Structure 1
């Protein structure tokens, strides 16, 4: 009888320990609306690549992840101020690495979308730069890779860059012709082309072949310890290896673009 009680106590201890290390508690995750990454479905619910990735990570790790939706600028302020524990589709920079650890899960490429009113003669980045009547829109605080960031710095000095607060605001400016071009990754312009009717535009790929950007979860260094961050990394790695990431990407993009997102 004593032996049986000791065995039961040992099993309870083991179970309690597994529970303590088997979940990641309650985390606050901030999402931002952007193309196929995060958008509203027909029924009004939020969906997209970022949401599915976070939901699957939470399921596998036993986390409770509370979602909020905000602009990228306010998300960075929340991460810096300790009010947000994690966010999504983040490009690592030295400044961001100071307050968060980035766990990659997709590789994206930036494109320049040209409005239908842009003259057909504008075919290259030099053509666009030479026409001082053309302006481009970006989302405030976004990074677009070394090539495009250097180009945008040049255009900013000429007063030709408009910074929108978020993706919906940028789309409105583009659709009414307030800006003649906008920066977009493939998961942004792909969704535009799926609209009925689709937004008339030209997708220009002007960056060097290897000028891609890596996006990932960013985990607050203040609220998520290194051991938990490593578990996030292992979970994302397992999702890539077992094909889960690919299936998530393919639910929101075509097969060709989905495959490209795995090139990181």
Structure 2
């Protein structure tokens, strides 16, 4: 009996320590397609929110959410005012300041207005007039970044602060194309008023997949805690929770593709 009481006390201490080591954490979300958006009732929802909520529940974390632009989020992570954020693609430069905990594998696409005839990156570049919009601080993979650098040299790239502003530029035809992840353009194909006004072009090399996920500030989250986040995401993937979360906001085929990282 005494041994059982001692074991229970030890387990309670370990649980309390684990919880104390996991928060409160300051997290920031950014609006982007199916990843994070306002539902009809005005509440924020999306894949990123559901993933963070489930991670917090499993780990016993207190995670204080906020919503901001991607540029300000990176400034907060670098400056120490944020502990974590969501759905960022891994790059060597970013890995210096954050731990990246993979939970999705994405591809970038080019959304073109229907009347634009370009069928490749080279054709769009040769056009000489058409402009493209991107979200400031987003990364698009080696092939697209090299192409965008050429377009920037010609003054043909608009940098928007967020996805809503990017779509406004596109709808107003201030730009003839925009870069978008599949989680970004998926909600657009559900909107009947946009049907037939644009096309989705997959110009990236076949094997160019961008792996991303939760990002944890190296200033505030140590390796051991980051490993716990990684273990939790892996468990969510193995028991089907990650798949179910993605399927709440995407169709089953796209959800399966995005979690195949």
With normalisation by structure 1, the TM-score equals 0.94
SS in 1 for 2:194: coil
Residue of structure 1 equivalent to 2:167: 171
**Residues 10, 243 of structure 1: alpha-carbon distance in 2 compared, 3 angstrom cutoff:** closer
CA 228–156 in structure 1, closer or farther in 2 if over 3 Å, else same: same
Aligned counterpart, 2:205? 208
Return 195-204 or 182-191, whichever deviates more. 195-204
d(CA) in 2 for partners of 1:248, 1:156: 37
Question: CA 1:159–1:17 in structure 2 vs 1: closer, same or farther (change >3 Å)?
Answer: same
Kept after mapping to 2: 8 A contact 1:117/1:180: no
Shift of 1:127: 1.7
Cα distance, 1:9 vs. partner? 6.0
CA distance in 2, matches of 1:87, 1:108: 17
Alpha-carbon shift at residue 7 of structure 1 (Å): 6.4
- Matched residue, 2:39: 41
Judge conservation of contact 1:49–1:252 (CA < 8 Å) in 2: yes
Question: Is 1:219 the counterpart of 2:229 in the alignment?
Answer: no
| Cα distance in 1 between the residues matched to 2:42 and 2:192 | 17
Structure 2: distance between partners of 1:247 and 1:173 = 33
Count of aligned residue pairs for this structure pair? 259
SS in 1 for 2:193: coil
Deviation at 1:102, TM superposition (A): 0.4
Q: Which of these residues, 77, 80, 83, is aligned with residue 81 of structure 2?
A: 83
Match of 2:97 among 96, 99, 104: 99
Unpaired runs of at least 5, structure 1: none
1:35 partner SS: coil
CA–CA distance in structure 2, aligned partners of residues 68 and 21 of structure 1: 24
Contact 1:102 1:219 in 2 (8 A): yes
Question: Could you tell me how far 1:94 is from its partner in structure 2?
Answer: 2.1
Identify which range, 155-164 or 19-28, moves more after superposition.
19-28
Which consecutive unaligned segments of at least 5 residues does structure 2 have?
A: none
C-alpha RMSD of the superposition: 1.6
Q: Determine the structure 2 residue equivalent to 1:139.
A: 135
Q: Distance in 2 between matches of 1:59 and 1:7?
A: 27
